[in-house]
Structure 1
Amino acid sequence: MAQTQYFSDLIVKVATSRDKAAFVELFDHFAPRLKGYLMKQGADDAVAEEVAQDVMVTLWRKADLFDPRKSSASTWLFRIARNRRIDRLRRQKTAELDPEEPALQPTPLPDVADEMDARLREERVRAAMASLPEEQKEVVRLAFFIGLSHSEISDQTGLPLGTVKSRIRLAFGRLRQLIETDEAVDVN
């Protein structure tokens, strides 16, 4: 995916040249997501915030350990967050570790069939994206791969907000049509 590659490239920039703008972009994208993940895993707000901050400091200090051939940026960062949370649980002397604690369980191996389906879907989406008119492709890229809001896209491109929304809606209609047609051909 383009977004996956984009974030991996940002980490490489942090590793090679201590690129502060790349780090800020990574921080803005991942810190709230890491905090949300940690809270879903049972951490309270303060602990989740602290661990998320620690993960981002680790990113800054140890970006050179990231290997984009082995994992995506998000996989790497969420694994660090998971491990930091486990370390924190282990250090709590007053709490007994529950062996059934979800955070302590190994991550299940991905189902091969699910991975194949995901790859096929990704190929279909890439092919459908390539067939979109350039103006639709650009707003979809800004919204879903870069993560900008409709208002931010409007500000960045100079397009009226209604035009941004219309192009995204038209792009999704076209994508849906192309993907459904492609799936129907595969079934027959």
Structure 2
Amino acid sequence: MAVDPSDKKALNIAMRQKLFAVATSRDVAAFEELFRYYGPRVRAYMAKLSRDGQFAEELMQETMVAVWNKAAQYSPDKGNVSTWIFTIARNQRIDHWRKANRPDFDPNDPAFVPAEIKPADAAFDMNEDADRLHRAMETLPPEQLELLRLSFFEEASHGTISEKLGLPLGTVKSRIRLAFAKLRTALEDRS
């Protein structure tokens, strides 16, 4: 390379020309010059970040392959060639870090295990039991039905029900027990 490396402006112009030659005509000689200049710098940058020479070498190789493949995407309005190449290097490092830290797929993870489908006869029995329970509940006196609704469907405590309905706590408890006894009898008779 005939450009003085200390003349940053001239160096950037020369490297831009090399990159354009790679982008337009896949110029291997131009890419070799880019590689000789930026390869060691990218490797040093990666070695400094990762403290692993082998990993730094691999990332440098992948970065330079990406430079070859993406040369046509370089835009001089958005920055210098070095900025563009080191951005690719940084992204390569981030991609490797993400892949290395991605959790392994666990086929037994509940999120991936389909819900168990009940056999048709079990589903039928369950529906039949629900129908029997509804019919049995229709036989209860309205005050007992209201107590069951408040206690089990609205999940109100016995004390809350007592206050809400203005009934003594013992009355609430005994009426709920009575309602259960009637339901049990009604369900056993129909079994």
Question: Greater relative contact order: 1 or 2 (C-alpha under 8 angstroms, separation 6 or more)?
Answer: 1
Q: Rg larger in 1 or in 2?
A: 2
TM-score, normalised relative to structure 1:
0.48
TM-score, normalised relative to structure 2:
0.48
